[in-house]
Amino acid sequence: MTTAGEALLSVEDLVITTRGARPTTIVDGVSFGVPAGGSLGIVGESGSGKSMTLRAIDGVLPVGVQVASGAIRFRGRDLLTLPPREHAALLGPEIAMIFQEPMTALNPTKPVGIQISEGPRRHLGVGRRQAHDLAVDLMRRTGIPDPERRVTAYPHELSGGLRQRVMIAMALSCEPALVLADEPTTALDVTVQDQVLKLLSTMCDEMGVALVFVTHDLAVVRQTCRDMAVMYAGKLVETGSVEQVFADPRHPYTLGLMDSAPDFDQPDRELVPIPGLPPNLANLPPGCVFAPRCRYARPDCTTPPIELTEIGVGRTSACRYHADFRSVAVAAVAGDDHE
């Protein structure tokens, strides 16, 4: 995490709600910064608001969901107050997005080469002939075999791994400063996931592109990102460098995620599930939102305010007992063993 001053992207107190008479808060007061060339992994389970945060930055929130307050500053300019045309002009040359499902994100009626070079033609004034060469070159650099032939292929003619490489080629086509990736490898085989992750990290490093990476897989964040942020029920609960957070998680939810995920390097470690279910966003528990499922909850955890506080250099936690939450004897949580 860096301070807002030097950040390429800085999200400030972002609140996302549903539209309508009784709006539900989906993302509640999220703030983070990404420096130029940095990489941030946002982790959390389904419904934690991680994808919504990412979509708000790209300006592609689903219908019925809106940014209620806050700011998303990119190079100091607030994307939320920018006229739509100026915002659109940034998407591609400055900010690009990679979606989870390339089959639905690619246009099925156009050859992939045309789609890859669409950005450069539109934003960089690249001509038709050059565009073809550029597409072939980008496809080669993203490791697509036989790019001269594949440049005229339609998305359905490519495998899932190749489609995701096309998405990466598209995202990097205008050499943006920031790439947003929403679970880009979740639908892929482990071997292809490994190829795509390594490609993405290497290309971002080489081109100095900053990366915001949303995933539910802690191991993927560990291998791809420098900083990480953990989200739960629409709120950030812990942030810090990947090294620090993995070495010493300072929020019980982060620890819970780590304990419930199997790790290949620790085959004998017992998996400890997080008891209970994530709360209904329309009816959040008082105080700490994680308290009802927390093994280490103390009586005053349900007393507001619970805020994300700085606990060290570049580290924050929303746990009131972040320093020693594990010192409490594990309490039996109601509804244990059920999700």
Partner 1 sequence: MSEPLSTATTAVRTPGEPVLQARGVKVRYHEPSALSRLIGRRRAGRRVLHALDGVDLDVMPGETLALVGESGSGKSTLAKVLVGSLPPTDGTVLFSGRTLPARRSSAMHRRIQMVFQDPYSSLNPRMTAGRMLAELVPERGEAAQQAVLTLLGTVGLGEDTVTAYPSQLSGGQRQRLAIARALAVRPDVLIADEAVSSLDVSVQATILQLLADLQRDLGLSLLFIAHNLAVVQHLCQRVAVMYLGRIVEVGDAQEIFGNPRHPYTQALIDAIPRMGARRIDAAPALPGEPPSPINLPTGCRFHPRCRFAQDICRTTDPPLVPVESDQESDRVSACHFSSTFPPQARSTT
**CB neighbours of 113 closer than 8 A, spacing ≥ 6?**
132, 135, 136, 139, 150, 151, 152
C-beta of 202: minimal distance to partner 1 in Å? Answer: 5
Task: Give the x/- contact pattern for partner 1 in 15-54, rule: CB under 8 A.
Answer: ------------------------------xx--------
Nearest to 209 by CA among 99, 97, 316: 97
The only residue of 64, 125, 267, 299 in contact with partner 1, by rule CB under 8 A: 267
Site for partner 1 in 49-108 (CB under 8 A): none
Q: Is 141 in the site for partner 1 (CB under 8 A)?
A: no
182 residue type, one letter: D
Beta bridge partners of 318: none
Give the residue, chosen from 3, 107, 152, 202, that forms a contact with partner 1 under the rule CB under 8 A.
202
Give the containing element (helix H, strand E) for 27.
strand 25-35
| Interface with partner 1 (CB under 8 A), residue from 34, 42, 136, 218 | 218
Nearer to partner 1, 132 or 235 (CB): 235
Residue 170's nearest CA partner among 212, 209, 119 is 119
Q: Minimum distance from CB of 172 to partner 1 (Å)?
A: 16
CB of 88 to partner 1, least distance (A): 34
All residues at 6 or more sequence positions from 243 whose CB lies less than 8 Å from its CB, including other chains:
none
214 contacts 294 by C-beta, under 8 angstroms: no
CB of 222 to partner 1, least distance (A): 5
**Site for partner 1 contains 248 (CB under 8 A):** no
The count of residues interacting with partner 1 (CB under 8 A) is 47
Q: Please, what is the minimum distance in Å from the beta carbon of residue 204 to partner 1?
A: 12
- Give 76-106 as a DSSP string: TEETTTS-HHHHHHHBTTTEEEE-S-HHHHS
Residue 145 interacts with partner 1 (CB under 8 A): yes or no: yes
Q: Least distance (Å) from partner 1 to the CB of residue 80?
A: 30
Give the side-chain half-sphere CA count within 13 A for 109.
0
Binding residue (CB under 8 A) for partner 1 from 7, 67, 197, 231:
197
**330 binds partner 1, rule: CB under 8 A:** no
Side by side, the strands of the sheet bearing 309-312 are 95-98, 178-182, 210-215, 39-43, 227-232, 235-241, 315-317, 309-312
298 near partner 1 (CB under 8 A): no
Closer of 47 and 93 to partner 1 (Cβ) = 47
57/73 Cα distance (integer angstroms): 9
292 binds partner 1 (CB under 8 A): no
Question: Which H or E element spans position 229?
Answer: strand 227-232
The residue within the footprint of partner 1, chosen from 22, 64, 327, 337 (CB under 8 A), is 337
Figure out which of the listed residues 49, 119, 252, 256 binds partner 1, where binding follows CB under 8 A: 256
x/- string (CB under 8 A) for partner 1, residues 152-171? Answer: -------xxxx---------
184-188: list long-range contacts, CB under 8 Å, 24+ apart.
Answer: 184/98, 184/99, 184/100, 184/213, 185/215, 185/220, 186/100, 186/215, 186/216, 186/217, 187/100, 187/101, 187/160, 188/160, 188/161, 188/164
User: If binding is defined by CB under 8 A, does position 309 make contact with partner 1?
Assistant: no
- By CB under 8 A, name the binding residues for partner 1: 45-46, 145, 159-162, 189-195, 197-199, 201-202, 216-220, 222-223, 242, 246, 256-258, 260-267, 271-274, 277, 337-339
